[in-house]
Amino acid sequence: MTLPKSELIVNANGSVYHLNLLPEDIADTIILVGDPDRVQEVSKHFDSIELQKGKREFLTHTGLLNNQRLTVLSTGIGTDNIDIVWNELNVLANFDLQTKQKKERHKILNVIRIGTSGSLQMDVPVDSILVSSFGLGFDVLMHYYNYSKDTETQQLEAAFQNALAIPFLLPYLVKAPGYLIDQFSDCIQGITATCSGFYAPQGRIVNAKPTVERFIERLASVKIGDKRITNFEMETAGIYGLANTFGHNAVSVNAIIANRVTQQFSKDGQSLMENTIAYVLEKITK
């Protein structure tokens, strides 16, 4: 099937619409960061950089580290941007941009998110690193996609929906897709909630009274068997959901910059992020 020009949009230079990238611009292993300024904080570790491109908040560097080709790409904030980034990465890997047809052979991408996150548990301290075993989406992105879930995930998702019982939320749950999480077995692991905003959607009372009372306490107290919500941020569930949908591997590595229960904040977030980046690069280039 040939996709219409209005559905798979290609720029005049042959690049995909938002990311401004050509298929040869990306490696099979891709690091996602939210902040465009963080791209160079990753690529400064590369032995060489072959490509630097940017459009809007989407900045891309591709290069070599320990003879492995890597791409680092900024997504901006939120799962609405993840929808754009993941769709266009999959297009770059698995579609012919000239004919607008899907390729017969499916290429699998390995995607690692490095981002900051807030802890929801006393025993997940500030300045630690947590890897997401599941993403629990409080946004609506994956309600627009048809994707598969195993029985365990379906049951766990329903249990969290019933336990949280927030009328306007229908959280979706996605397991870390693929083998990448196994490379981070020495880390704290937990369920990462993905919120649709930073202030009231994360229980912050700053400019207005939120509709959900004691939101932090409610999230922290829910436990289904040995499963609990350990932290939250704004991208992981979307990354996991679309990786699952499109048939790729993904893992989310979270630098815990704040603890919302103890109300602590990292005294040196920059060093924490530098350590997290170095840790991830060592793991994926061994």
Which token pair is 186? 């020495």
Check pLDDT > 90 for residue 286.
no
Q: What is the pLDDT of residue 270?
A: 96
Q: What is the pLDDT of residue 210?
A: 86
Q: What is the pLDDT of residue 31?
A: 98
**Quick one: angle between helices 79-94 and 236-246, nearest 10?**
30
List the end-to-end C-alpha distance of the chain, in Å, as a whole number: 40
Domain boundaries, the chain: 23-284
pLDDT mean across residues, the chain: 96
CA distances in angstroms from 49 to 18, 66, 85, 111, 171, listed in the order given: 22, 12, 21, 19, 40
Predicted confidence band of residue 120 (pLDDT cuts 50, 70, 90): very high
Predicted confidence band of residue 257 (pLDDT cuts 50, 70, 90): very high
Check pLDDT > 90 for residue 251.
yes
Q: What is the pLDDT of residue 189?
A: 97
Check pLDDT > 90 for residue 155.
yes
Average pLDDT over every residue of 120-132 = 97
Average pLDDT over every residue of 116-130 = 97
Please tell me the pTM assigned to this model. Answer: 0.96
Answer for the pair 57, 36: CB distance below 8 angstroms, yes or no: yes
Q: What is the pLDDT of residue 283?
A: 96
Check pLDDT > 90 for residue 172.
yes
Portion of the chain with pLDDT greater than 90, in percent: 95
What does the pLDDT look like over 177-229, one tens digit per residue? 999 999 999 999 999 999 999 999 999 989 998 898 899 999 999 999 999 99
Of residues 218, 249, 247, the one with CA closest to residue 232: 218
Number of C-beta neighbours around residue 256 at 10 A: 24
Q: What is the pLDDT of residue 213?
A: 87
Q: Which fold has domain 23-284?
A: Rossmann fold (3.40.50)
Spatial neighbors of 146 by CB under 8 A, at least 6 apart, are 245
- What distance in Å separates the CA atoms of residue 144 and residue 134, rounded to the nearest whole number? 19
Check pLDDT > 90 for residue 66.
yes
Q: What is the DSSP letter of 141?
A: G
Average pLDDT over every residue of 118-134 = 97
DSSP string, 51-89: EEEEETTEEEEEEEETTEEEEEEE--SSHHHHHHHHHHH
